[in-house]
Amino acid sequence: MPSVKQVQVTFDCAEPERVARFWCEVLGYVVPPPPEEFATWDDFWRSSPPEEQGSWFACVDPSGAGPRLFFQRVPEGKVAKNRVHLDVRVGTGLEGEERLAALEAECARLVPLGATRVRLLYDGTDSCIVMQDIEGNEFCLD
């Protein structure tokens, strides 16, 4: 049985490009180049049937270490809590007040991008901040 070499994380959303560009800012990811025969993504989308235009978008880790994130348009809105979410690891190796300060600094950077702070979970040593992206998908600053 062959082993898995790569993982892609897929998000259902209303506005794929908008959500992908948000996550590019959060994670330092980039938008991959358009297919070879197109100079820009706009050129690519203009060549697509109207019902497919803007129906998906992706972003990638420029180092190649992280998973590709794929965003696909779906007709229905978000109705419940995510069963899977991303943990954005900004406090790795830190504890107590130092960890909390790193999480708070990252939260302060993400809110102007459209993220929403939901709540702080802190027990005096370990902490995380529960947040939502621009379409209400939960993620944690960990």
Domain-terminating residue out of 73, 105, 125: 73
Tallying the residues shown for the chain, one arrives at: 142
pLDDT of residue 124: 74
131 and 104 in one domain?
yes
Band of the pLDDT at 81, cuts 50, 70, 90? Answer: confident
Does pLDDT of 2 surpass 80?
no
What is the value of pTM for the model shown?
Answer: 0.89
69 and 16 in one domain?
yes
96 and 67 in one domain?
no
Domain presence at residue 44 = yes
pLDDT of residue 78: 82
Band of the pLDDT at 6, cuts 50, 70, 90? Answer: confident
* Spatial distance between the Cα atoms of 19 and 12, rounded to a whole number of angstroms: 10
106 and 67 in one domain?
no
pLDDT of residue 48: 93
Domain presence at residue 32 = yes
18 and 64 in one domain?
yes
Range of the domain at 127: 86-141
Does pLDDT of 125 surpass 90?
no
Which of the two residues, 7 and 101, has the higher pLDDT score?
101
Domain presence at residue 26 = yes
| Domains contained in the chain, number | 2
15 and 45 in one domain?
yes
On the 0-12 / 13-18 / 19+ scale of CB atoms within 10 A, 65 is: exposed
